[in-house]
Amino acid sequence: MKEIRKDVLTVKDIAYMMDPSVLKLDTSIKDVEAMVEACKKYDFGSCFCWPCYYPQLVELLKGTNTVFGTSLAFPSGQETTETKVYLAQEFEKLDPAEHDMVMNVGWLKAGQYDLVLEDIKAVREATKGKSLKVIIEAMVLSDEEIVKACELSLEGGADYVKTGTGFSAAPTNLHHVELIKETVGDRAKIKVAGGVRDLGTLLKMYKRGACRFGIGLQSAINIIEEAIAIGHDIDISTID
């Protein structure tokens, strides 16, 4: 997907950066349908749901400007590498725009870096030509572990480092975004997920280097309506 880095953001820009999701434990097809209706209304960039609904999501999104992404080993990351690869290959049959894989944070914390790297490389091989995001679950990592997770993601061929799944109790914060940006520079893009529930937070994280935002559907709607209500484009230089 095309990424947006601008000094002034329009409502359309903000909508495009948001990837709404319906990923609660009781998500039904009605939630997926509601998400697609919101995508039609606001032109969100991409959207996510549970894999069992991917075939329906593909059909529902036809004729919209929104694409869909897949989740591999979501939300724990502790599936086998073979499982992640198999899922990537199966999901590729539906021609998604991108894949989000969850890093095996247990391996990372145990210092089993070779396993982490092999895991990412195997999924990268299975998803050639598509955008790959590695979810590092920054909120359960130390600063040193975040840096290492970023380095392994880069070495494995990731296009993005993604802060989290949204399933951790703690949210992504500005320090996480700043540290990831300091580590990856322009070698990878940054997607934030977990804790972005208002426009102000989104804009602060955007200014610090994030360019995509994974957000629950209702929060995504609230944020874009907040942007619409402002009534004018937003100058990023005015954001703290």
Among 204, 215, 220, 221, which Cα is nearest to 9's?
204
Dist. CA 39–CA 33, nearest whole Å: 10
Are 49 and 27 in contact by the 8 Å Cβ rule? The answer is yes
Residue from 84, 148, 162, 189 carrying the catalytic annotation? 162
Q: Do strands 234-235 and 8-9 pair parallel, antiparallel, or not at all (unpaired)?
A: antiparallel
The verdict on whether 12 is a catalytic residue reads: no
- Candidate list 19, 31, 84, 100, residue with the active-site label: 100
Active site residue 100: yes
Q: How far apart are CA 56 and CA 62, in angstroms?
A: 10
Q: Which of 130, 181, 189, 191 is catalytic?
A: 191
Q: Does the annotation count 198 as an active-site position?
A: no
The answer to whether the CB of 49 falls within 8 A of the CB of 23 is yes
Catalytic residues, by residue number, are 100, 162, 191
